[in-house]
Chains A and B, each alone.
Chain A
């Protein structure tokens, strides 16, 4: 993993905003768990699609519109978790929240997502940085509940 200086952080956010990963409705949406994401403080408005098979995230998509932070953060997450065990995904999401709350966190788990370390400089945007992450967590929890 490269060292993220400010310029690389900025470039990474912009790259994921301008060319987000899997930002489209999947061809077979019926095979996915789905969730509508929006927030009262922003006009972000997405639908999240997640496919979990044998407790592994097979693939995720999102569609809709949102600000740079919400689009880029969701894009980074969906790219990162493909093929990952759901327990590991939940762990990463927990570390990400620690980072945004200015607590000690395990940098090695977050990969590219550490580009959002500065979001706390604009606390009104923290919800934007977590909207997709909270959605993925919620869908995974729903999946676990169903499996039980």
Chain B
């Protein structure tokens, strides 16, 4: 039985703020178990990883190994060595774009993206394309907001090396059929990179079943601290990619002739000291989500979104752009009100929503809007949160009330 009120008791932030938090696609609140895990590292078993001979260092290394295992199982990877710890989705995607790109992209090659991509799955590709003389091809969305296998197929050419797409759009919340898209991409001899920032926290992912080559996601959007993320890559691909950063913790030896022998994956991609306390937090976050069950979380979010839509549909001045998206993202505008003004109005009612282009600055060509307001739900959102949101939405045309 999914008891959201009991779940909320695990999150100390609810005792400390009256904010009605509907910006979960940006970042999430943290349960006490995650805070405890971070504190545990900072106050009880502090040591660096990978280079100590003493007991506490052993405990840290073991926690890193355990966390890698936990991530591996969480996304259905085959090997723990396919899990690379990064700063977050942005870093993960930069590693793929630059490391893979420098090695495998050549003049005239094509990189296929969609217009719904977040800046972090767009700009690294622009940069590497400029550097090696490759070309970025931008796919439009289907009329109903999806990246479909058909659209991908239409845009594939013999020169397409990489297809980089989002699993769930951070603006529209539609779930793209990554499994079928991966089949189409592989049939063309290309590789698929998936931005999982908005899917991994909310949906069951199985990278082997979906046959994804690379998957990037962030911890802080799924209860873990900021500054920790993951890059999953198929081992055969990671093995042949050069390192992205160089330094300590990623080399076996080097000589006066500047000859470096790298460590194997994943360490090859983890130069420097990792964000160890955040990895402790990620471990606790995944454990927490596993206990609730990711399918139950998805169901909770879906039900709440339907509950919200039922009420919002009755308001003529609320324009919703993604009614049929099955995830917990509601993208809307208040008729005649600039998105930023609407968000400021919701803030005056203690409701945290986000406005603007949500870092997906090419999507305006699909939406035909300069900006939108986004309300996003997570595992602890309640019907009461939605009620307060809808109540505020009712009078949002009087947005200047925020200042009076």
Interface centre among B341, B347, B399, by most chain A C-beta atoms within 10 angstroms, is: B341
Query: B39 interface residue, CB < 8 Å from A?
Result: no
Q: Which chain B residues border A90 with CB–CB below 8 Å?
A: none
A43-B347 contact given A9-B404, A119-B403, CB 8 Å threshold: no
Q: Tell me whether A43 and B357 are in contact (CB under 8 A).
A: yes
Question: Hey, what's the 0/1 contact readout for A34-47 against B, CB within 8 Å counting as 1?
Answer: 00000000111000
Q: How far is the CB of B383 from chain A (nearest CB, A)?
A: 28
Q: Tell me whether A122 and B340 are in contact (CB under 8 A).
A: no
Q: Tell me whether B340 and A42 are in contact (CB under 8 A).
A: yes
| Candidates B348, B371, B399; contact of A68 at CB < 8 Å | B399
Q: Tell me whether A122 and B402 are in contact (CB under 8 A).
A: yes
Nearest CB in chain A to that of B342: its residue? A67
Q: Which chain A residues border B348 with CB–CB below 8 Å?
A: 121-122
Q: Tell me whether B404 and A124 are in contact (CB under 8 A).
A: no
Q: Tell me whether A14 and B400 are in contact (CB under 8 A).
A: yes
A119 to B402, CA, bound (A): 9
Query: B370 interface residue, CB < 8 Å from A?
Result: yes
A141 to B131, CA, bound (A): 39
Q: How far is the CB of B29 from chain A (nearest CB, A)?
A: 20
Chain B stretch 230-270: residues in CB contact (< 8 A) with chain A: none
Question: Hey, what's the 0/1 contact readout for B336-355 against A, CB within 8 Å counting as 1?
Answer: 00111100100110000001
Nearest CB in chain B to that of A120: its residue? B403
Query: B356 interface residue, CB < 8 Å from A?
Result: yes
Chain A stretch 39-67: residues in CB contact (< 8 A) with chain B: 42-44, 65-67
A6 to B371, CA, bound (A): 28
Chain A contact residue count (CB 8 A cutoff): 20
| Candidates A13, A42, A66, A128; contact of B400 at CB < 8 Å | A13
Q: Tell me whether B400 and A122 are in contact (CB under 8 A).
A: no
A55 to B121, CA, bound (A): 48
Q: How far is the CB of A15 from chain B (nearest CB, A)?
A: 12
A124-B344 contact given A43-B370, A68-B338, CB 8 Å threshold: yes
Q: Which chain B residues border A69 with CB–CB below 8 Å?
A: 341
Nearest CB in chain B to that of A118: its residue? B403
Chain A stretch 105-122: residues in CB contact (< 8 A) with chain B: 118-119, 121-122
Which 8 A-B pairs rank lowest in CB-CB distance, beginning with the nearest? A67-B340, A118-B403, A67-B338, A43-B356, A68-B341, A6-B404, A67-B341, A43-B371
In the complex, given contacts A43-B356, A67-B341, what are 20 additional A-B residue pairs having Cβ atoms less than 8 angstroms apart? A6-B404, A10-B404, A14-B400, A42-B356, A43-B340, A43-B370, A67-B338, A67-B344, A68-B338, A68-B341, A118-B403, A118-B404, A119-B403, A122-B344, A122-B347, A122-B348, A124-B344, A124-B347, A125-B340, A128-B340
B interface residues, Cβ below 8 angstroms from A: 338-341, 344, 347-348, 355-357, 370-371, 399-400, 402-404
11 A-B pairs (CB sep. < 8 Å): A10-B400, A42-B340, A42-B356, A43-B356, A43-B371, A66-B338, A68-B338, A69-B341, A122-B344, A122-B348, A124-B347
